Amino acid sequence: MGKRRQLNARDFSEAYCGLYLQKDKYFILLTEGTSELSSSSFVSYGRVCKKDNMYYLKDIPCNAEIVLEASGDMSNLVIRKGFSFMQNERFWYQGDIIDDDLESMVDIESVYIRKRERNLHKRKHKISSLLPLRLGVYENKSITLSLDSDYLYQIHYKLNEYSQIVSKGKWIKDGNLLKLYDAFLDCSFTALIDSSKITVIDFPNDVYSDYDYLPVEEKMLPLIVK
At 187, which CATH number? 2.40.128
Whether 83 maps to a domain, the answer reads: yes
Residues 136 and 108 in one domain: no
Domain that holds residue 77: 2-114
Q: State pTM to two decimals.
A: 0.88
Are 15 and 108 within one domain? Answer: yes
> Which DSSP string do the residues of 113-178 spell out, in sequence order?
HHHHHHHHHHHHT---S---EE-EEEEETTEEEEE-TTSEEEEEEEETTEEEEEEEEEEEEETTEE
Rounded to 5 degrees, what are φ and ψ at 4? -110, 130
Which region holds residue 169: left if phi is over 0, alpha if psi is between -120 and 50, else beta? Answer: left
Q: Both 204 and 109 in a single domain?
A: no
| Helix (H) or strand (E) segment spanning residue 14 | none
- Is 77 part of a structural domain of the chain? yes
Q: Judge residue 192's burial from the number of C-beta atoms within 10 Å of its C-beta, 0-12 exposed, 13-18 middle, 19 or more buried.
A: buried
Does 14 map to a domain?
Answer: yes
Q: Tens digit of pLDDT per residue, the chain (226 long)?
A: 456 666 654 445 567 888 988 888 899 988 887 666 778 888 999 999 999 999 999 999 898 999 999 998 888 999 999 999 999 999 998 877 665 555 666 777 777 777 777 776 766 666 678 899 999 999 998 899 999 999 999 999 998 878 889 999 999 999 999 999 999 999 999 999 988 999 998 898 877 777 899 999 999 999 889 8
With respect to residue 119, please indicate whether it lies within any of the assigned structural domains.
Answer: no
Is there a domain that residue 41 lies in? yes
